[in-house]
């Protein structure tokens, strides 16, 4: 249990989310909720159980932009890296300078890998509080994380990536490419609708947003039913 909160808490300075995730899981453990893990929910299983109320909280899946070479063996998803399902070889290029990209970049740099982060916008971490961002950038100076902004990834090769920006094309060298390019709603079960059953969709499976949006929607639905 824990989902994306556990991955969010992996980077340095983000242990507060680990505390919150464990708090939530402890609350569930002390309740009368039956928790079943290690079992995939399918339309067939839902039909078999035939619940009166179905709440979908399936979260999101990583977005995969249309970039030449994105299917290469040197391309990994940030979630797989943080979750320990994939290993990186340096130097590492992190594509995407949002909160996830910044988190995985620092996490990898703390492990001794050379990290370069590439963002197509003019600045990284636009959603981060200014004081938190300032402190993060000070840590990055010590970790020697290179920042490339205003660069759009045009292609991924075995040597790294080709980027476009400022009217020119250039190559950024890297052994492993880690994608942190956003998320898409996981709606693989959204079509499970039957007459007489209440269906609710909460959290990122409706639209990827923030953790507290999902917590709020879960509490709201709990009150409604």
- 19-23, 92-96, 117-121: lowest mean pLDDT where? 19-23
114, 53: one domain: no
Residues 106 and 171 both lie in one domain: yes
Say whether both 76 and 28 belong to one domain.
Answer: no
Q: Do residues 78 and 166 share a domain?
A: yes
Instruction: Choose from 6-10, 16-20, 82-86, 161-165 the range with maximum mean pLDDT.
Output: 161-165
Domain that holds residue 29: 4-61+184-224
Please write down the long-range contacts of 133-138, taking CB distance under 8 Å and 24 or more positions apart. 135/13, 136/13, 136/102, 136/106
Q: How confident is the model at residue 29 (pLDDT cuts 50, 70, 90)?
A: confident
Q: Which of 46-55, 78-87, 112-121 has the highest mean pLDDT?
A: 112-121
CB burial of 159-188 (b: ≥16 within 10 Å; e: otherwise) equals ebbbbebeeeeeebebbbbbbbbebebbee
| The pLDDT value given to residue 183 | 92
Regarding whether 78 and 155 lie in a shared domain, the answer is yes
User: CA 147 to CA 115: how far, in whole Å?
Assistant: 9
């Amino acid at each position: 249990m824990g989902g994306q909160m556990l991955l969010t808490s992996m980077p340095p300075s983000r242990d507060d989310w680990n505390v919150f995730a464990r708090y939530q899981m402890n609350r569930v453990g002390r309740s009368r909720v039956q928790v079943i893990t290690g079992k995939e929910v399918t339309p067939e299983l839902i039909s078999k159980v035939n619940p009166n109320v179905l709440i979908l909280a399936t979260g999101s899946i990583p977005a995969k932009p249309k970039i030449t070479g994105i299917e290469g063996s040197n391309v990994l998803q940030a979630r797989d890296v943080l979750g320990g399902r994939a290993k990186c070889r340096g130097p590492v290029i992190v594509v995407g300078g949002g909160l996830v990209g910044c988190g995985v970049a620092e996490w990898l740099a703390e492990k001794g890998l050379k990290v370069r982060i590439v963002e197509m916008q003019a600045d990284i971490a636009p959603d981060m509080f200014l004081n938190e961002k300032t402190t993060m950038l000070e840590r990055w100076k010590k970790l020697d994380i290179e920042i490339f902004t205003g660069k759009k990834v045009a292609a991924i090769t075995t040597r790294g990536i080709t980027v476009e920006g400022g009217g020119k094309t250039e190559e950024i060298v890297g052994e492993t490419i880690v994608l942190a390019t956003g998320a898409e709603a996981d709606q693989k079960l959204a079509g499970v609708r039957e007459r007489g059953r209440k269906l609710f969709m909460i959290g990122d499976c409706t639209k990827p947003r923030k953790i507290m949006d999902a917590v709020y929607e879960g509490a709201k639905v709990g009150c409604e039913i």
